[in-house]
Amino acid sequence: MKLASLKGGRDGRLVVVSKDLARCLAGEYSTLQSALDDWSNARPALEALAARVEVGEGSAFDQADCESPL
């Protein structure tokens, strides 16, 4: 599972990114910190998003939109 923080807001916006870095999906956790704070629940939710993005769901991902490039 690849996670990225897109530019926006104080802590960025959390997305799950496909392994080939082509697509991304946002979920119920708006920031990485919010996911870490609730990791026992966030992990399965983020893994489900990862499975979806790997089959082609989501929008195009551009590393230039990240807070810090991958």
pLDDT at 11: 84
pLDDT at 10: 82
pLDDT at position 7 over 80: yes
**Is-contact 12 30, C-beta < 8 A?**
no
Give 51 or 67, the one with higher predicted confidence: 51
Beta-carbon contacts of residue 10 (< 8 Å; ≥ 6 apart): none
Q: pLDDT of 10-45, one tens digit each?
A: 889 999 999 999 999 999 999 999 999 999 999 999
Q: E strands within the chain?
A: 2-6, 13-17, 23-25, 59-60
Q: pLDDT of 53-68, one tens digit each?
A: 999 999 999 999 987 6
